[in-house]
Amino acid sequence: MPIIDNAVYVGGRRIENPASLEETFEYMRSEGGMAWIGLFRPTREEISQVAEEFSLHPLAVEDALQGHQRAKLERYGDTLFAVLLPARYLEREETVEFGELHVFVGPDFVVTIRHAESPDLARVRRRMEGQPELLAFGPEAVLYAVMDEVVDEYEPVVAGLQNDIDEIEDALFGSEHAELSQRIYLLSREVIGFQRSADPLRAMLEGLLRGADRYGVDIELQRSLRDVLDHAIRIAERLASYRAILDNALTVNSTLVTRRQTETALAQNEQVKRISGWAAILFGPSIVAGVYGMNFDRMPELSWAWGYPMALGLMVLTAVGLYVVFKWRRWM
Residues 271 and 254 in one domain: no
Three-state SS across 232-289?
Answer: HHHHHHHHHHHHHHHHHHHHHHHHHHHHHHHHHHHHHHHHHHHHHHHHHHHHHHHHHH
The strand pairing partners of 10, in sequence order, are 13
Shared-domain flag, residues 249 and 297: no
**Cβ-contact 97, 116 below 8 angstroms:** yes
* 253 and 274 belong to one structural domain: no
Q: What pLDDT, on a 0 to 100 scale, did the predictor assign at position 239?
A: 92
- DSSP of 43-110: -HHHHHHHHHHHT--HHHHHHHHH--PPSEEEEETTEEEEEE--EEEETTTTEEEE--EEEEE-SSEE
Domain boundary among 258, 291, 309: 258
Domain end (from 202, 230, 258) = 258
Q: Indicate whether 148 and 252 sit together in one domain.
A: yes
Residue 1 has a pLDDT of: 47
- What's the one-letter identity of residue 169? E
Tens of pLDDT, residue by residue over 169-218, are 777 766 555 578 788 888 898 999 999 999 999 999 999 888 887 777 88
Q: Count how many Cα atoms sit within 13 Å of the Cα of residue 250 in the half-sphere of its side chain.
A: 14
Inter-residue contact 246 to 184 (CB < 8 Å): yes
Same-domain status, 289 and 206: no
> Could you list the mean pLDDT of each consecutive 10-residue stretch along the chain, which spans 332 residues?
81 85 86 90 86 91 86 91 93 89 94 88 92 92 94 93 87 66 86 91 90 82 90 92 88 76 69 70 66 61 65 72 72 66
Q: What is the distance between the alpha carbons of residues 105 and 110, in angstroms, rounded to a whole number?
A: 5
Domain final residue pick, 205, 234, 258: 258
What is the DSSP code (8-state) at residue 296? -
Beta bridge partners of 6: 37
Element of type H or E holding 40: strand 34-40
Both 17 and 75 in one domain: the answer is yes
Tell me: do 41 and 89 sit in the same domain: yes
Query: Which residue range forms the structural domain that includes residue 282?
Result: 266-328
Question: Counting beta carbons within 10 angstroms of the beta carbon of residue 62, is it exposed (0 to 12), middle (13 to 18) or buried (19 or more)?
Answer: exposed
Both 157 and 274 in one domain: the answer is no
109 & 254 share domain: yes
Count: domains in the chain: 2
pTM: 0.72
Tell which phi-psi region holds residue 320, choosing left (phi > 0), alpha (psi between -120 and 50) or beta: alpha
Residues 42 and 121 occupy one common structural domain = yes
Provide the CATH number for the domain around residue 289. 1.20.58.340
Question: Residue 52's domain is classified under what CATH number?
Answer: 3.30.460.20
Q: Are residues 151 and 285 in the same domain?
A: no
Q: Are residues 157 and 135 in the same domain?
A: yes
Is-cis flag, bond preceding 119, omega within 30? yes
The residue length of the chain stands at 332
